[in-house]
Structure 1
């Protein structure tokens, strides 16, 4: 392995140890719920899920689980609002 690759691996390790450096802006995932598989998306700070609970309340266990998993990698709501203005 050459020294350039070693440096990149070390940098990747450092980035992984600082998750606040990584921010998710848009993505789609599949969440395997207890009863069904659900499509969840995150676009410009807004969650969407195809489950009935989300349709009624705008939040659900699937979106809340992803918020916990992604933690600091999601932009703060205020940052999202100012970026769209």
Structure 2
């Protein structure tokens, strides 16, 4: 019994190191910014944020920070060009 648990723990450690195994399809997080909390939502390849900068630009420091944090677990999100 314990050998199977040990095997599962080792497998979990290996999976945790291989972030490319996980791809998010949707989620909502609360990002604690310097001035306020903001909801950042990811849905089918699109990030949105409730901060005032995001609507006019299609990106913000919160969405870009989240992309960096999750690295290869998110498919590439295009930043609109002005």
Match of 1:42 in 2: 42
Other-structure match for 2:20: 20
Query: Where does structure 2 lack aligned partners over 5 or more consecutive residues?
Result: 78-82
| Residue in 1 that maps onto 2:56 | 56
| TM-score when normalising by structure 1 | 0.85
Which structure: greater helix fraction?
Answer: 1
**Can you list the C-alpha shifts for 1:26-61, whole angstroms capped at 9, x where unaligned?**
111000001000001100000010011001111000
RMSD, aligned α-carbons: 1.2
Structure 1's consecutive aligned runs of 4 or more residues displaced over 4 angstroms after TM superposition are none
CA-CA distance at 1:10 after TM superposition: 0.5
Q: How far does residue 24 in structure 1 lie from its aligned partner after superposition? A: 1.2
Structure 1 distance, partners of 2:46, 2:59, is 10
Separation in 2, partners of 1:46, 1:4:
40
Equivalence for 1:83: none
Q: TM-score, normalised by structure 2?
A: 0.88
Q: Which runs of 5 or more structure 1 residues have no equivalent in the other structure?
A: 78-85
